[in-house]
């Protein structure tokens, strides 16, 4: 049986992204560039759907509950000519928790917790920050969400959840996926065990 295809969008930029702060599950709003990136993703999606002979109503729409992902979804839906508020939210799509490191830059963490950060670089897949979660744990909850997906879907979530999907769907192995770049203003299409990038 064919797996549902996911049209996956990482939320647009926030001020914390611009400052290279670890956001994790902190609820940080999009900045002006982030709003523009979200609208751009809606336009990319519109073109992809038209190329495939499909319409926006053909898809399910689901977002992480964090405001940066919800706002991204609402701007995407507006660009597609849909009611911006008619989509589902699923907590399993939240970004991975960075625990006590949230709000800090990597430079801050290096100064205050350098030995622990070094351990993360040795095994990024299994490492959990103090009070946070690992990619391995994140992949389990994202996999539980994916098991509920019944049709092709547009998803607005986070960089970490995209990397977890890469492992769950067999796009990349655990040792590689945590190091992959997931950009803003881009639509990623997960189809089977392949991932394509548009934008």
Q: Is 168 a catalytic residue?
A: no
Note down pLDDT in tens along the chain; length 199 residues. Answer: 789 999 999 999 999 999 999 999 999 999 999 999 999 999 999 999 999 999 999 999 999 999 999 999 999 999 999 999 999 999 999 999 999 999 999 899 988 887 887 778 889 999 999 999 999 999 999 999 999 999 999 999 999 999 999 999 999 999 999 999 999 999 999 999 999 999 9
Tell me the pTM.
0.95
Q: Is 46 a catalytic residue?
A: no
Task: Kindly give the residue spans of alpha helices, DSSP state H, lying in the chain.
Answer: 15-18, 32-51, 67-79, 106-122, 135-146, 159-168
Tokens of 161: 């959840």
Beta bridge partners of 6: 153, 190
The catalytically annotated residue of 74, 95, 102, 133 is 95
Q: Which domains does the chain have, with CATH numbers?
A: 6-198 (3.40.50.1240)
CA nearest to 26, candidates 168, 132, 139: 132
């Amino acid at each position: 049986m064919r797996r549902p295809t996911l049209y996956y969008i990482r939320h647009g930029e926030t001020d914390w992204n611009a400052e290279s702060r670890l956001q994790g599950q902190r609820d940080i709003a999009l900045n002006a560039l982030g709003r523009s990136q979200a609208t751009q993703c809606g336009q990319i999606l519109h073109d992809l759907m038209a190329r495939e002979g499909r319409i926006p109503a053909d898809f399910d729409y689901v977002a992480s509950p964090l405001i940066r992902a919800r706002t991204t979804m609402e701007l995407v839906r507006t660009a597609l000519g849909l009611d911006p508020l008619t989509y589902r939210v699923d907590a399993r799509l939240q970004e991975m928790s960075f625990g006590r490191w949230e709000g800090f830059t990597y430079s801050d963490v290096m100064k205050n917790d350098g030995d622990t950060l070094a351990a993360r670089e040795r095994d990024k897949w299994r490492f959990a920050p103090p009070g946070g979660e690992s990619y391995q744990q994140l992949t389990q909850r994202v996999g539980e969400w994916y098991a509920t997906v019944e049709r092709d879907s547009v998803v607005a979530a986070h960089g970490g959840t995209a990397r977890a999907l890469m492992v769950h769907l067999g796009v990349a192995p655990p040792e590689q996926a945590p190091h992959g770049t997931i950009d803003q203003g881009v639509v990623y299409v997960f189809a089977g065990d392949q991932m394509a990038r548009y934008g």
